[in-house]
Amino acid sequence: MWSGWWLWPLVAVCTADFFRDEAERIMRDSPVIDGHNDLPWQLLDMFNNRLQDERANLTTLAGTHTNIPKLRAGFVGGQFWSVYTPCDTQNKDAVRRTLEQMDVVHRMCRM
C-alpha cells in the first residue's frame, strides 16, 4: 500500500492558486454573461419594490445571491434580469405583475 496519501492534499493546495489565477485571467478576458437572474422578484418579495429602502442598496444588499460586489467578484460582465411572475398570477394580475417587474428592472439599472 502506498503511504504517500498525504501528498495529494498538498498538491491540491499548491496548485489551487495557479488554477484560480488562470480562471480569473480567463474571466477578465471573456467576462461571464449571466442569462437569468431573479433579483427583481426578490426585491419585490423583500422590499415591495421600494428601491429607496436603504436595505435594498445593491452595493450592500444582504440575503440574496446577487449584489454589486458579488457580480464584480464573479467577473459578471453582462446581466439579463428576469421579469418573473408566478403561475398563480395567470388569469388574475399577471400583466400588472409583469409591468411592475419591468419597472423595477428599469429603476434598478438607472440606480
Here the cell at position 100 is 411592475
Residue 8 pLDDT grade (very low, low, confident, very high; cuts 50, 70, 90)? low
Compute the distance between CA of residue 64 and CA of residue 101 in angstroms, rounded to an integer.
17
**Residue ranges of domains in the chain:** 31-109
Compute the distance between CA of residue 81 and CA of residue 85 in angstroms, rounded to an integer.
13
Which tens digits make up the pLDDT trace of 59-79?
999 989 999 999 999 999 999
| Alpha-helix residue ranges (DSSP H) falling in 30-78 | 39-47, 68-73
Which tens digits make up the pLDDT trace of 10-37?
666 777 788 888 988 998 899 889 988 9
- The pTM of the full predicted model, rounded to 2 decimals, is 0.73
What pLDDT sits at residue 42? Answer: 92
